[in-house]
Each structure stands twice: as structure tokens, then as C-alpha cells.
Structure 1
Amino acid sequence: MSVVVTWVTAPGRQPVASTVETTHEPERDLMPPTTGTGVLRRDEQHLQERLAWSARAVDGVATSNEQFEKWFADRQAAQVQKVDRIPFADLRGWSFAEGTGDLVHDSGRFFSVVGLHVRVDDGPVREWWQPIIRQAEIGLLGIVVREIDGVLHLLMQAKVEPGNPNGMQLSPTVQATKSNYTGVHRGRSVPYVELFREVAPHRVLADVLQSEQGAWFYRKRNRNMIIEVGPEVAAGEDFCWLTLGQVQRQLHIDHRINMDARTVLSCLPGPAPDEGVRTGTELLHWITTNQAVHDVETQVVGLAGLPGWHRSDWAISHERGCFFQVIAVDVRADSREVSGWTQPLIEPHAVGVSALLVKRIGGVLHALLRARIEPGYVDVIELSPTVQGTPENHAHLPGLIRDQLRDLDRIRAAGRVLYDAELSEEGGRFHHSRSRYMIIEVGDDYPEREPDGFRWATLPQITWLLRHRHYLNVQARSLIACLRACVD
């Protein structure tokens, strides 16, 4: 038979479509081998072959790219959302707690905005105070996959969030806090959530706790899951089956794939780790050493009277007018579990930058990761992209991040840009939080020697680290999902 697939011939080049003659039958060679009882065989090599086949099918199988774009446009037109900025006094179900001044929900659930006092032993600023989101419950981010016509497909959701700069983005099959999927909001149930709560172990492809932004969340974690289902699971109205290649293609479009989908995609299983500049044991030793030697003291304090921050009727903002502010919004949406609500959001003051430098060392692609301290991390440090920061926030501060941001244009001009898009962060908690994400392949002139606090790691080594919790931060995970879309 003939199968039309698109082969990515080299990083940074346009995909080339071709018709491939194949003699195998998809039902025999691509469908997962089973026992006599229909239980899926979890063979790592076979799974890699199935994922690779799905990644090559960038023109679609169950849904063509043209059909997808029409479906997405239809969902954008159908899902109406109106978001208005309001004063804190107009929040419904939210209030500033007596004594502490913390911004809390009447139910005691969802999340709260509290104050944090931070002391660190490294960096240009060693002590500060800030508002931060505290959300103790663990959310669920899950993608359902199934085979259609012999090719793995991902069930993606068209979802509007109040903080998205463009309204609708592609999200995981399930994206919900525990308060949402247990019905604290008294709204509609979350579709497909029971598939994850009652999944058989042999159908789990990935299951790991990962962090969110350590600068804005205090020890927040989500359960990132990927599970495989059978043909009994169909796509609902706001859902669409796409191949991995189609999803990866969407990653190149500004604000198309949301942060939660990117982090789950980064957790897709990959090949066994190879040896690079560093062995896996050396990388783990370096990470653990950084977690053990750095002193980071955090103390949750009241939001009222937070040094350096001022609360007005409309915002909680820094006295210098930088970093971020806490605002309130009124949301009206016809496609969510509830049709209307109010809530606080964090609004950054400028566009961030997250850049990953990659280099071929001994013919093997390596990425340069940094051990980064953020006050909200559970384990003191996580690995971040090579460069991560907001130029306006670091312009007045001496140190590495300011110098990196200033030098990035030169590095970009001298290297080869594999990826460059503006992506937004989690729209359920942040208002128009945008960052320019870049992957730059540097040449032989870029030093192989690792600066203090940095390590080279291969993509299989990073994939291996992502099987474990709290090693890579959410910005790095987004870039790893994008890197696979460039080089796989």
C-alpha cells in the first residue's frame, strides 16, 4: 500500500512530503502486540517506533490539516469568552483575609495569593518579598492517545482560558485542578477525567509530578499523564484526534499549544539515555549537589503590608512598577464547567525570554541547561533553559542573566535558529503572560567548556530525567517539546 508521510530531513528545514511504498499491513506491524486477553504489550522499542511513525504523519491520518484548521476556527467562533478587568471589591467568592490580608476563596479551595519572604545565597538580590500563588492541591494534566488506522493519535482539546492572549489554545485532553474535577465549583463535570482516575497500569505511557513557575507558584505540582485507550473513546465536540506530527507542527505557531499541553508532551517516553559529555550518573550528582549546597529560605507571610508592594483598589503591584502585578477579572464563558466567575490573576509587566542553546559535540546534539534557583521550587533548584529572564526586570541588576539577555542577539546571529515563537504561560492563573521561546544551534566557535552552574545533556538524557519529578522546570520542558518537533 502507499502511505503519504512527511519526513523532517534536517533541523530547521521545511518538511518534505513524499509517498512511501510499504508492504506491511498497519494492523499487523503498527498495532500494539497483545496477549490472548487483549492486554497491551509495553515494549519500549515498539513504542518508540509507534511514536516515530505518528511524528512523521504531519499531514494527518484521521484528520487532515485542512480539516483541523476548519474545526479549530469553528471552535473559536463557538466558544465565546468575555474577560473584564474589575476592582478587587467586585470579586465574588474571594476576599482579603482579616489579619494576613491574603487573597482567598470562600470555599478554602482552588488557590490563594499570599506573601513570601525569600533569602538566597546566590544571585544579585539575596533577600526580597513578593506575592505568590499558593495551591496545595495537585492538578491533573493528561493526554489520551489511541491508534486510528494503525497510527497513534493524541486527543487534544480546544480550550479558552481567561488569561490567554488569544483566547483559545490547544490543551491536553484533561486540564483540571482537583477542585475542578471533584466539583467544588458545582459546574459541569470534566470530560474524560475518569479515564485517568481508573486507568489500568499497562495503559500508562507516562505519569510524573512536575512543577510550574517557581517564581509565581509556591511548591505547585501537577500530575502529567499520558495514557493509551481503545477505539471505544471518541472525540467530543471540543476535542480532536491529531497525530504527534500534527501537534508538533502546531508548536511552531504563536500561542497555539498551551503551556499545559507542552509540559505533558515533554514527558513522552523516548529512547534509552546515551552517553554525552556527561554520563547520566554525573548529571544526577551535579543536580543533587546543587540542591544540597544552596541555601534558600522561604517563609509564607501575610500579603498585607508586604515590603516593596502596594495594594490599590485595582492591583497589587511593585513600588518600582516592574516584575508583575496581581489583578482581578470577571469571566463569562459558555464552554467551561461554569458559565461565569471572578478570580485573581498574575499579570507580568513585560515579555520574557526563554532560549535553549544546543550544540553538536562529537556528532551528538547536546542542550545547555542551567541549575536555577526559584523560591517556589520544592527542591531548591530545577534545570532551566540556557537563558531565562525578562530584559526589563534585569536591566538594573548586574549579573549573569542580564549579560546573557544582552548577548543573545549576537549568539542568535552567529548560530542557526531551529525554533522561534512567542508562547504564553498558563492562562488560568496568568494574564497575557508571554515569552519568546528560542532554540539556537551554536557552532564550533561556541565553547564546549561548561560555565559554573551549567551542564550539557543529550536529548535522550533529558528525556530520561523527565521520567522523574522536579528535574526540569516548566520553561525547559516547553523547549524540549519544541526541540523534538525540530529534530525528531
Structure 2
Amino acid sequence: MAEHENLDWLRGRLRASLHAEANDPSELIEWLQGRRKQVPFSAHLIALRDVANWRQDDDGNIYNVSGQFFRIEGVRVQSAPGLREIAGWDQPIFTQTDGGVLALLCRETPDRGVEFLLQAKADPGNIGYLQFCPTIQSTWENIRGLKGARRAPFAECLDSSDNIRLIYRSKHNEEGSRFWQKSNENMILFVEDASALTVDDSTYRWASLSQIKQMMLLDNVVGPYVRTVVAPL
């Protein structure tokens, strides 16, 4: 398949760039720590009844008044003996009609070899709030700019273009203990001419695969989706 050929091609480029790519992630970590201090972002737990713009329907399911995002519904599970710890249980579970996209843009330069564009993304449940995430980590609603949502940065790179080489694309199930039959599209996109990109240096940083692997050994620096996207490499 053509996509697998591109994956083999990128693996070859990664091997060829080992002599040039950076290994020490210190500068990236210092930058992230600095951004954590500078970005005005905070979160704390509040009573569920006080959460704005979320309601319960007649069945008790929780939904957003905009009709976007996820819902919280109930699921009843029955399991074959020995498959799980107990034979069955009930629990709340997130339901969402559309999954999302987890995409890493990458480039190659003579001086630094192959690099991946990481996003310092803030989420309320993160330890340290900001963590390195894929270039695009977004729902399809935001990618398409639906219902007034601001279109996700670099979403145009998902469109067919002579400047973009699709390395691989595959769907991965979101964590099934929390999400009902939701899958995200994981992909790596090689940018032939990265000078055509407009990169906000206050949010995005280029990193080699070696730097990413080093940062994965540190606590709460790299978000989990980066791991899943680079796993095929």
C-alpha cells in the first residue's frame, strides 16, 4: 500500500538523520516550564450541579446545551466468567458521535534532520496543565469549523496537497473503559516545504524523535496521544 511505502520512507529518513538530530530535550523542557508559568490557565473541581451550560435530560443523561461535545450516559455490562474481575456492572460512559484527529506534522532539514511539530496544549485534568501534544489534537467539529467553532490550527494540512505527504493514517479506539465506541484518526503528515507553514512559537515547538523519546521518560511532560501517534515509527 502507498501509505505503508511512505511509512517505510520516513523510517529510512529517521535512520539517515540520526547523526544530525538533537538528543537532549533540555531546551524543550525549559521552554515548557516557562510557558506553564506564563500562560493564564487554571482549573479546580466544582460541584457537578454548578457546571455552566450542561444539563440533564429526562433519562438523567448529561449533555451540553450547544449540542456539541460528548454526552454522559449509562452502560450495562455483562461479561463471560473470568474475562473481567466481575461478571457484570453498570457505569457512566462518555458518548460522542464523532471522534477526532491526532496528527503530527513533521519536516526534514539538513541541520536538524527529521523533526515533529509538538503543541503545548492546556487541558484542565493535566498535571502542570500544559503538556506536549500532537500538532493537531481536535474533534472533527473544530477541524471543520462547525457550529461557530474556531477551526483548529493546521487543519488545512489534512486536505490533499502537493506539500503534504501522508505517512500513515489509522483509526484507534479511544479508551473503552471511559468512551463508548469512539475512535480517533491517528496520522503523521510530512511537510515537503515547512517554510509554507505559519508556526506560533508561543504554542508549538519542533522536536526530534530522540527528544520526544527522552521526554516520554519524564513525568507529565508528554501527553498520551503523542505516544500513540509515533508508535508505528
1:255 CA drift (Å): 1.2
Is the partner of 1:75 in helix, strand or coil? helix
Is the partner of 2:43 in helix, strand or coil? strand
1:161 CA drift (Å): 0.6
1:65 CA drift (Å): 3.7
- Whether 1:262 and 2:227 are equivalent positions in the alignment is yes
Which residues of 2 match residues 86-485 of structure 1 at below 5 A?
86-98=46-58, 100-123=59-82, 124-149=85-110, 151-184=113-146, 186=148, 188-199=150-161, 203-229=165-191, 230-231=193-194, 232-237=196-201, 238-268=203-233
Contact 2:6–2:168, Cα closer than 8 Å, also in 1 = no
Letter in 1 for 2:186: N
**Distance change (3 Å), C-alpha of 1:140 and 1:46:** closer
TM-score, with normalisation over the residues of structure 2? 0.86
**Distance change (3 Å), C-alpha of 1:201 and 1:146:** closer
Structure 1 stretches (4+) deviating beyond 4 angstroms? 42-46, 54-58, 199-202
Pick 1 or 2: higher relative contact order, CA cutoff 8 A, min separation 6: 2
* Separation (CA, whole Å) in 2 of partners of 1:56 and 1:187: 43
Letter in 1 for 2:207: L
**Distance change (3 Å), C-alpha of 1:223 and 1:43:** closer
Contact 2:81–2:87, Cα closer than 8 Å, also in 1 = yes
* Separation (CA, whole Å) in 2 of partners of 1:172 and 1:44: 18
Deviation sequence 1:56-102 (CA, Å, 0-9, x none): 65635xxx74432332233222222111222222222210111x100
1:187 CA drift (Å): 5.0
- Whether 1:50 and 2:1 are equivalent positions in the alignment is no
Partner of 1:345: none
**Distance change (3 Å), C-alpha of 1:56 and 1:265:** farther
Contact 1:159–1:170, Cα closer than 8 Å, also in 2 = yes
**Distance change (3 Å), C-alpha of 1:115 and 1:205:** same
Q: Which of residues 42, 56, 60 is equivalent to 1:82?
A: 42
Count of matched residue pairs: 223
Letter in 2 for 1:189: R
Structure showing greater radius of gyration is 1
Is the partner of 1:82 in helix, strand or coil? coil
Deviation sequence 1:372-417 (CA, Å, 0-9, x none): xxxxxxxxxxxxxxxxxxxxxxxxxxxxxxxxxxxxxxxxxxxxxx
Compute the RMSD of aligned alpha carbons.
2.3
Contact 1:72–1:158, Cα closer than 8 Å, also in 2 = yes
**Distance change (3 Å), C-alpha of 1:157 and 1:119:** same
State the identity as a percent.
28
Structure 2 residue runs without a partner (length 5+) = none
Structure 1 residue runs without a partner (length 5+) = 1-41, 269-488
* Separation (CA, whole Å) in 2 of partners of 1:141 and 1:119: 32
